[in-house]
């Protein structure tokens, strides 16, 4: 693509953590390389849909705000996910919408008022050199992102995208009300019981699904620790085995850890089951201290919901 067909966003202030993510890096776990990808798949996909992009086009995941971007060419952008009090030259911009950023204008993100992570989509998705088939940024492994080395954005970086990238016509210009999550509300997280669930005591299983949990301060893109009733399992440990997105491990202290996109590829703690991808997305927007509830969900029901979501996004 020639230079005059490219648009760029320049990073004037980097903020605590902003990085490029596409749908993720797959087929590499046998190498010990995790998937990465958007912590909130739901918000990421809707941001792309607002511009008519492919559902898995690379977008910018902005955690906790603090980012300031300057447009080098006029372009349309879409925001999905957390309300990070975004503004264009001081004029507020709501999440779940499309906005035009004119040449020289600043798009700023302040502190979160609802949720933790916002997703910024551009026409056709951000450009970059794939690493192991993906732009997904995983800092721990030094892979992907805008520079290919796993770095989060830094002041002075430039993000390129195609101004005439040929994105499809957006099927609808807004996100339906029911899909605009209020991240301040307690989260109900669908969990498919499995793995070593039969090795937990009956009282532990009752409490796991009938009492509230709180998000711990120990939470990042690798996983989220939950605080609540101590769960008891007759297994103290296992031979390490493959770990899927959403696996809920229970270490000896009985406090579950839900593993997210940047998790390790194997683990040896007993597992209560696995959160669905959309439950992981919802958990990724929960602030420390926020209340969540685990909801036992049959595998078939979870698969049907996920297929409907992917169909809505035009995936598959």
Residue 199 backbone dihedrals phi, psi, to 5 degrees? -90, 0
Cα–Cα separations (whole angstroms), residue 61 to 35, 167, 270, 290, 299: 15, 20, 31, 21, 29
Q: Where are the domains positioned within the chain?
A: 3-179, 187-313
User: DSSP class of residue 22?
Assistant: -
For the chain, the farthest-separated pair of C-alpha atoms sits apart, in whole angstroms, at 65
- The model's pTM is 0.94
pLDDT in tens, 234-277: 997 788 999 999 999 999 999 999 999 999 999 999 999 999 99
pLDDT in tens, 13-45: 999 999 999 999 999 988 999 999 999 999 999
Residue 143's beta-bridge partner residues? 138
Is 1's pLDDT higher than 50?
Answer: no
Q: Region 108-134: what's the mean pLDDT? A: 96
Decide which of 248 and 2 is more confident.
248
Judge: domain 187-313, CATH 2.40.100.10. Answer: yes
pLDDT in tens, 43-95: 999 999 999 999 999 999 999 999 999 999 999 999 999 999 999 999 999 99
């Amino acid at each position: 693509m020639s230079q005059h067909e490219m648009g760029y966003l320049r990073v004037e202030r980097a903020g605590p953590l902003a990085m490029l993510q596409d749908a993720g890096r797959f087929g590499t776990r046998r190498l010990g390389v995790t998937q990465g990808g958007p912590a909130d798949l739901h918000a990421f996909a809707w941001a792309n849909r607002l511009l008519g992009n492919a559902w898995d086009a690379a977008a910018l995941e902005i955690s906790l705000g603090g980012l300031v971007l300057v447009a080098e060419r006029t372009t349309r952008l879409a925001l999905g996910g957390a309300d990070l009090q975004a503004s264009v030259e001081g004029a507020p911009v709501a999440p779940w919408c499309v906005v035009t950023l004119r040449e020289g204008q600043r798009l700023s993100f302040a502190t979160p008022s609802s949720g933790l992570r916002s997703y910024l989509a551009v026409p056709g998705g951000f450009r970059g050199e794939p690493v192991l088939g993906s732009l997904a940024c995983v800092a721990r492994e030094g892979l992907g992102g805008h520079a290919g080395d796993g770095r989060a954005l830094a002041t002075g970086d430039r993000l390129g995208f195609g101004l005439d990238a040929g994105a499809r016509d957006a099927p609808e210009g807004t996100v339906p009300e029911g899909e605009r999550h209020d991240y301040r509300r307690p989260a109900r997280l669908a969990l498919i019981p499995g793995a070593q669930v039969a090795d937990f005591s009956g009282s532990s299983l009752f409490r796991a699904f009938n009492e509230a949990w709180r998000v711990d301060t120990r939470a990042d893109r690798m996983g989220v620790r939950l605080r609540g009733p101590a769960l008891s399992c007759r297994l103290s440990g296992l031979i390490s085995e493959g770990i899927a997105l959403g696996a809920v491990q229970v270490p000896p202290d009985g406090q579950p850890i839900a593993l997210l996109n940047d998790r390790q590829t194997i683990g040896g703690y007993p597992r209560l089951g696995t959160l669905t991808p959309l439950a992981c997305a919802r958990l990724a927007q929960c602030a420390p201290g926020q209340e969540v509830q685990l909801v036992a969900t049959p595998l078939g029901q979870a698969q049907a919901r996920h297929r409907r979501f992917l169909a809505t996004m035009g995936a598959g």
